[in-house]
Copies of this chain bind each other. A is one copy, B any other.
Amino acid sequence: MNPTIKDVAKYANVSIATVSRIVNGLPGYTEDTKKKVQEAIEALGYQPNAIARGLINKRTQTIGVLFPEVSGMLSSEVLEGVENAAHDGGFSVIVCNTTSSGKRTVKYLRLLQEKRVDGIIFASENVKEEYYKIFQEMQVPVVLVSTASQFNLPFVRVDDYEGAFRATEYLIQKGHKQIGMIGGSFEDPIAGVPRMKGFQDALEKHGLDFTDQQMTSNEGYRFQNGKESLPLLLDKLPLMTAVFAASDEMAIGAMAAAHQLGIRVPEELSIIGYDNLKIAEMCYPALTTVSQPLKEMGQSAGEILVKLIKGKEKEAESRYMPFTIVERQSVRDLRKK
């Protein structure tokens, strides 16, 4: 069995209180006894038991992270950032894969409650009232990433409306007039509606009229969605020269569809994506896209959470992260000939 503080105390001929003080760097002992105790710790290979500590301190030094899918390339980059920040702040992270099903989310939240995590990072999924109630019960800080909510919870995200607006403007500036969009879901208040609205508004601002003929909406944001959407869009908008996809995966799906149809990218069709996943620079032609700093977002969220847990900040500090448009090879400049 692992040695306990009691074993160390006995070995060093002191009380457990003294050992505890030394381990925790509190005052109240001579240099001599400190050395004695440290030798005992060394000799026995003593490791404090974080469980016992957690019980009395009511701090587990652990946070929970909820993702709708762990292996999504988006989630995994955010996760890396979170883990990084958490580790720097002295916390471990428990990952929970909610698989975008509400039932499992609640189950996980209950689990995290039983495990007495010190804080929660909630990603991508919409915050239902049911979840919010549990947050309140739990009495621990929560930080949202890539999500906002009707509730007053701190979040870290980029401005999706603005990102979509700028992406669309970018295409317009390159001389495109017939632009289509492969959009997300109208039920999705994060990656869905704002990006579609941004697209529409940008068109209208620049005097191009918008009809719902030039947009498809999709349940998901996956490769397949994009691949299936492009032909539909081409039907409705045969003269289309450029398309804005609400995610990189969809953009790349659209590119695949274009290849199949014998449409050359970017010569005949320009494509711009959204996210800047690692695949964006790997595909051919390399994808021009709106870059979300995913890892940094995770990092930021982690840092904010740690601060809230340590009680340094009372009030929830939210952050909009800057997006940028990363120019690669999938968009053609129509003004040059």
* Interface of A toward B, CB cutoff 8 Å: 2, 45, 47-52, 54-55, 60, 62, 69-73, 75-77, 79-80, 83-84, 87, 92-97, 110-111, 113-116, 137, 139, 223, 249, 252-253, 255-256, 259, 278-279, 281-286, 295
Contacts and interface: CB of A to CB of B under 8 A. Distances in A.
A285 B284 CA distance: 9
Nearest to A294: B71
A73 B115 contact: no
Contact of A79 (B95, B110, B114, B281): B95
B55 A52 contact: yes
Please indicate which of the listed interface residues A95, A113, A223 has the most CB atoms of chain B within 10 Å of its own CB: A95
Contacts of A97: 80, 83-84, 87
Nearest to A97: B83
Contacts of A83: 70, 95-97
Contact of A94 (B45, B93, B139, B282): B93
Nearest to A278: B73
Contact of A284 (B48, B80, B113, B255): B255
A45 B137 contact: yes
A51 B116 CA distance: 7
A69 B45 CA distance: 29
Contact of A259 (B55, B87, B284): B284
Nearest to A93: B95
Contact of A73 (B69, B73, B139): B73
28 contacts: A45-B137, A49-B55, A49-B114, A50-B115, A51-B54, A51-B116, A52-B55, A55-B55, A71-B79, A71-B295, A72-B76, A83-B95, A83-B97, A92-B94, A92-B111, A92-B115, A94-B94, A223-B278, A223-B282, A249-B282, A252-B282, A252-B283, A255-B284, A256-B286, A259-B285, A279-B282, A282-B283, A283-B284
B80 A71 contact: yes
